């Protein structure tokens, strides 16, 4: 009986709920009919519909517009021309037989590691054999009224002619510019235009004051479209996007950056330059929501040195190496709670002369604690060559100290960096015979290029006019063997390189940039001059 009574109550409630719905619907229909009837009757009776009017212009927020007007005169379009020596098709080596596509196929539509971050800026590239003229576009920002302009090194490198166009120039008018100095480590360059009147210089800001979420504007000439302004926010700070680039930490932004934006400014809401747009993260070499700008703190430091008497950036070094990726296992094995454990000591370097050895863990510099390799590099690099620094380190669990004289990093690592010092010092490291800078293939690169982990070295840079350029080695190529000898590290390459003499044949087994395991490898060969 109790259950039957409950069922009856539920049934009654259900009818009530149903009735409520029907009543609501009926009421809505009735009200709708009345409104419809009233409106319809009013239209027929009065005919009082009024024409639409355009309201007077009203500026709701003009912050972006004010910044754009302030910065655009300081942002320039850069047009470069260069002669490409021995250009060749860098796609599948069997393209002639399999009908390779016009874009140098063989990568299945997947851009390789270098294109992912530093895609080419040349919109006129082709496959003609023999020397060709290449044109590229970029941006720059005036930082001194006398004509000094900051841009990216990759915008002006290897250029035979650099021309600059200002905002108010008549169509077709361009001004020749000369390179004052460049810095490979940060991909920055300073160029200068000689003018007979002061130029509108942008105001530099402090990148350290920026926070994630702050509004920013990117100004430049994407795809040659001058005076383009895009808006976004600071998405992240301190981004390391290229392995072993110790002096490149970026501001990440979602302000649209595309080819041609390189070298243009990233500005804050005070209209101050807080970064130089340098790279994008994209699978298509076009904007995908992630862009990177070098912080103004780095830009100012590099600029001040490039305009100096030597027109180069001097960075300190003590001649040690360490694991770039922090690994707690290293600290546990070597008995150090925190610090930087030395994995290699350059022979004859200041660290070697001061007695530092592999396995020592540096814990402090002049009494200031260091816990990460980036902190140690930043501290030592900022010191002038010839200055002295006191290092605290642990060896076999015991704390020790030593004093080290800081050396010039470029001279100390000349062979590894592939830089020609040309200073006539017989004790200085000899110039690289090949003229290339390489780095070990990281797991990320190995996975992207379909290469077994630990195999090969990737070409990071090729010196113009070098032996490597003569045999057509290119940035992004992976060297697997030299003269039948495996090359799995920088030391392997330097050991083989040092054993070769002028007149000897050199054969590189190479996985070319943008190709995969399916495409195979090729030989690049020549005779050392």
Distances in whole angstroms, Cα of residue 238 to Cα of each of 207, 288, 380, 481: 11, 20, 19, 36
- Note whether 163 and 104 are within 8 A (CB): no
Distances in whole angstroms, Cα of residue 147 to Cα of each of 98, 242, 305: 52, 32, 17
Handedness of CA 449, 454, 456, 461 (dihedral sign): positive
Task: Give the C-alpha separation, 216 to 275, whole Å.
Answer: 10
**Among 82, 207, 221, 262, the one annotated catalytic:** 262
Per DSSP, the three-state class of 411 is helix
Q: Is 262 assigned a catalytic role?
A: yes
- Note whether 469 and 436 are within 8 A (CB): no
**Among 187, 360, 477, 519, the one annotated catalytic:** 187
Tokens at 422, concatenated: 């040309």
Give the angle 383-388-393 at the CA atoms, nearest 5°: 100
80 beta partners: 136, 162
In 3D space, the residue among 195, 153, 158 whose CA is nearest the CA of residue 174 turns out to be: 195
In 3D space, the residue among 191, 211, 208 whose CA is nearest the CA of residue 140 turns out to be: 191
Tokens at 177, concatenated: 């510019």
488: CB partners within 8 A, 6+ apart: 440, 454, 455, 456, 457
Q: Is 187 assigned a catalytic role?
A: yes
CA 293 centroid distance within chain? 7
**Among 82, 154, 183, 466, the one annotated catalytic:** 154
Is 167 exposed, middle or buried, given 0-12, 13-18 or 19+ CB atoms closer than 10 A?
A: middle
**Catalytic sites, residue numbers:** 154, 187, 262
């Amino acid at each position: 009986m109790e259950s039957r009574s409950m069922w009856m109550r539920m049934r009654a409630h259900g009818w009530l709920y149903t009735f409520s719905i029907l009543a609501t619907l009926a009421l809505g229909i009735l009200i709708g009919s009345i409104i419809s009837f009233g409106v319809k009757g009013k239209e027929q009776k009065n005919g009082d519909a009024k024409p639409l009017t355009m309201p007077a212009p009203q500026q709701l927020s003009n912050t972006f517009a004010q910044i754009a007007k302030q910065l655009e005169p300081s942002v320039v379009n850069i047009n470069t021309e260069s002669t490409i020596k021995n250009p060749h098709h860098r796609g599948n080596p069997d393209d002639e037989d399999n009908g390779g596509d016009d874009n140098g196929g063989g990568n299945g539509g997947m851009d390789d590691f270098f294109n992912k971050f530093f895609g080419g800026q040349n919109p006129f590239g082709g496959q003609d054999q023999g020397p060709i003229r290449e044109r590229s576009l970029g941006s720059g920002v005036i930082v001194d009224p006398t004509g000094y302009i900051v841009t990216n090194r990759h915008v002006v490198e290897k250029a035979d002619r650099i021309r600059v166009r200002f905002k108010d120039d008549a169509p077709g008018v361009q001004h020749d510019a000369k390179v004052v100095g460049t810095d490979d480590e940060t991909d920055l360059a300073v160029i200068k235009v000689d003018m007979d009147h002061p130029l509108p210089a942008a105001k530099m800001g402090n990148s350290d004051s920026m926070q994630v979420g702050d509004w920013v504007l990117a100004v430049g000439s994407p795809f040659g479209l001058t005076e383009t302004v895009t808006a976004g926010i600071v998405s992240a700070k301190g981004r390391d996007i290229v392995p072993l680039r110790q002096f490149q930490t970026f501001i990440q932004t979602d302000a649209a950056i595309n080819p041609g934006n390189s070298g243009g400014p990233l500005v804050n809401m005070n209209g101050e330059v807080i970064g130089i747009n340098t790279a994008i993260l994209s699978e298509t070499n076009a904007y995908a929501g992630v862009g990177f700008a070098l912080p103004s703190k780095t830009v100012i430091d590099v600029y001040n040195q490039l305009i100096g008497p030597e027109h180069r950036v001097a960075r300190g070094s003590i001649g040690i190496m360490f694991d770039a990726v922090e690994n707690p296992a290293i600290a546990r094995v070597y008995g150090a709670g925190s610090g930087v454990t030395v994995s290699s000591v350059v022979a004859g370097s200041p660290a070697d002369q001061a007695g530092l050895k592999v396995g020592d863990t540096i814990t402090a510099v002049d009494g200031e604690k260091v816990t990460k390799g980036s902190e140690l590099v930043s501290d030592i690099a900022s010191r002038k060559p010839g200055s002295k620094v006191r290092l605290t380190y642990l060896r076999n669990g015991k704390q020790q100290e030593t004093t080290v004289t800081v050396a010039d990093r470029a001279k100390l690592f000349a062979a590894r960096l592939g830089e020609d010092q040309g200073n006539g010092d017989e004790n200085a490291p000899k110039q690289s015979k090949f003229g290339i800078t390489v780095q070990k293939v990281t797991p990320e690169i190995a996975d992207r290029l379909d290469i077994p982990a630990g195999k090969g070295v990737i070409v990071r840079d090729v010196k113009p006019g070098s032996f490597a350029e003569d045999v057509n080695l290119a940035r992004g190529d992976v060297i697997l063997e030299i003269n039948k000898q495996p090359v799995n590290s920088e030391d392997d390459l330097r050991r083989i390189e040092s054993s070769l003499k002028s007149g000897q044949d050199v054969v590189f087994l190479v996985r070319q940039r943008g190709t995969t395991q399916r495409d195979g490898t090729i030989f690049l060969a020549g005779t050392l001059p």
